[in-house]
Chain A
Amino acid sequence: MSLIIYSIKIAILSYIIYSQMKKDNLFTRLLTLFLTFLKVGALTFGGGYAMIPIVLEEVSKKKKWISEMEMLDIIAISESTPGPIAVNTATYVGYRVNGILGSIVATFGLALPSFVIIFVISYFYKDFMQWQVIQAAFKGLKVGVILLLFNAVLKLKKGVKFTIIGVISFILALAVMIIFSIFDIQFKFMSLCLILYGILLGIVLTKIGKMEGGKE
């Protein structure tokens, strides 16, 4: 009996939501943001660029809230600010559509699927790893992950300007990381220090005019 009442309630609720969807008010804006990024979170593998077509379709083509040109700017900014690209894009699009509330709703939508899926997986993970077939598969996967990392290096290489100073930074960082590992020096903030060094170096070089600014 309660099940019937429950489904009637859901039906009424979905009708109200559906009838509201056609209007452009606070409720539809937030709901569309939430659903769009829920979709992004649930359907994109590996994050990052895979999400862009979905966001374009929902936010630019269907709703026309953000022009496609502006989406390009948003992507560029998401890449050049700290944090995961997907989270940055969700926050930015959310902000443009409905201010701070919009950015929170969009980011929440993005995070929800990951949270639920990984939450479930982490419970089965240990038992799962006991199986011999799975262990063998994961030994293979390790090699696969290494390849993906090399792949990422090759892809990202295209966006890096290798000036003399850039090459020196690159070699320095690589050498430090490898030497630390060979001599087993435990320092949790090594890559953080190297990143800060890179940022400061870039700013100082721009200041003294040794590095070009402007768009690439």
Chain B
Amino acid sequence: MVFFELFYTFFLIGLFTFGGGYAMIPMIQEQVVGKGWISEEALTDFIAISEVTPGPFALNISTFVGNTLAGPFGAICSTLGVILPSLIVIIIVAMIMKKFIANRYVQGALNGVKPIVLALILSTALLLLVKVTLFGGHSLQSEFSFDKRSLALLVFLVGFITIYKKINKKSLSPIKILGLSALLGIIIFTV
């Protein structure tokens, strides 16, 4: 039953994501790509799409996967799935309010989980980087193909962002970084 499967998968994702946004990506990748629902390439494309459209990333991705897989009703199931854990947990927390955040076990659990979340995001970034520059965007088991254009683009972007930050004392917003990378992509990859 695809609808239940969608609901259940996104319920798990909602329940075990702390911090939201990018912290979600490793788990979405495992579940959604692991189940063969969408390809890893489509997921990365969609992260970019989600970043340039309004709304929280989690809701955007759940709607997209649900709709791609099972149409409008699928999108409703996956969106409900990702929202429901928040709704339940927050309502319970709101009832007991301030005791929650001051509780030392809650703080302990958070301190324990934060390094893990950081490592998960970093590993996703590193693996994607290796895949895009050295394996033509495919898995580490596929044929080696060095993509010097992507690497050049990366080096240029890192340089640009660092210089921009030095001059303006403010980092470039995500949407501007993506706009710039799309533009440079068109220039580099169509020539």
Q: Count B interface residues, CB 8 Å.
A: 110
- Asked if B64 is at the interface of the complex by the 8 Å CB criterion, the answer is yes
- Asked if A140 is at the interface of the complex by the 8 Å CB criterion, the answer is yes
- Asked if A195 is at the interface of the complex by the 8 Å CB criterion, the answer is yes
- Cα A200 to Cα B111 in complex, Å, equals 11
- Asked if A31 is at the interface of the complex by the 8 Å CB criterion, the answer is no
Q: Is the beta-carbon distance between B111 and A143 smaller than 8 angstroms?
A: no
Which B20-47 residues have a C-beta within 8 angstroms of A?
20-27, 30-31, 34-35, 44-45, 47
Q: Is the beta-carbon distance between B140 and A84 smaller than 8 angstroms?
A: no
**Which residue in chain A gives the minimum CB-CB distance to B84?**
A83
**Which residue in chain A gives the minimum CB-CB distance to B98?**
A73
- Chain B 152-165 against A: per-residue CB contact (8 Å), 1 yes, 0 no? 01100110010000
Provide the residues of chain A in CB contact with B153, threshold 8 Å. 140, 143
- Cα A117 to Cα B18 in complex, Å, equals 25
Provide the residues of chain A in CB contact with B17, threshold 8 Å. 82-84
CB distance from B76 to the nearest CB of A (A): 8
- Cα A203 to Cα B34 in complex, Å, equals 30
- Asked if A22 is at the interface of the complex by the 8 Å CB criterion, the answer is no
**Which residue in chain B gives the minimum CB-CB distance to A190?**
B30
- Asked if A30 is at the interface of the complex by the 8 Å CB criterion, the answer is no
Q: Is the beta-carbon distance between B83 and A107 smaller than 8 angstroms?
A: yes
CB distance from A40 to the nearest CB of B (A): 9
Q: Tell me which of A79, A153, A191 has the highest count of chain B C-beta atoms within 10 A of its own C-beta.
A: A191
- Cα A213 to Cα B107 in complex, Å, equals 5
Q: Count A interface residues, CB 8 Å.
A: 109
| Given A147-B161, A195-B113, A201-B112, A115 contacting B52 (CB threshold 8 A) | no
Q: Tell me which of B56, B82, B158 has the highest count of chain A C-beta atoms within 10 A of its own C-beta.
A: B56
CB distance from A118 to the nearest CB of B (A): 4
By DSSP majority rule, is chain B's interface helix, strand, loop, or mixed?
helix
Total A-B Cβ pairs within 8 A: 397
Q: Is the beta-carbon distance between A188 and B30 smaller than 8 angstroms?
A: yes
By DSSP majority rule, is chain A's interface helix, strand, loop, or mixed?
helix
Q: Is the beta-carbon distance between B110 and A80 smaller than 8 angstroms?
A: yes
Q: Is the beta-carbon distance between A173 and B174 smaller than 8 angstroms?
A: no
Q: Is the beta-carbon distance between B108 and A107 smaller than 8 angstroms?
A: no
- Chain A 57-95 against B: per-residue CB contact (8 Å), 1 yes, 0 no? 000000000000000010011111111111110011001
Q: Is the beta-carbon distance between B127 and A177 smaller than 8 angstroms?
A: yes
Provide the residues of chain A in CB contact with B139, threshold 8 Å. 181, 184
**Which residue in chain B gives the minimum CB-CB distance to A100?**
B91
Q: Is the beta-carbon distance between A114 and B60 smaller than 8 angstroms?
A: yes
Given contacts A47-B20, A136-B188, 11 further A-B contacts (CB under 8 A): A77-B101, A81-B89, A87-B56, A115-B59, A136-B185, A138-B45, A152-B21, A188-B35, A202-B111, A213-B105, A214-B102
21 A-B pairs, CB-CB below 8 angstroms? A41-B56, A42-B54, A73-B101, A80-B18, A80-B110, A83-B89, A87-B14, A91-B90, A95-B94, A114-B79, A115-B79, A119-B67, A138-B48, A139-B189, A156-B118, A167-B115, A177-B127, A181-B140, A182-B140, A188-B34, A212-B107
Which residues of B come within 8 Å of A, CB atoms?
Answer: 12, 14-27, 30-31, 34-35, 44-45, 47-60, 63-64, 67-68, 72, 75, 79, 82-83, 85-87, 89-91, 93-94, 98, 100-129, 132, 137, 139-141, 149-150, 153-154, 157-158, 161, 171, 174-175, 177-178, 180-186, 188-190
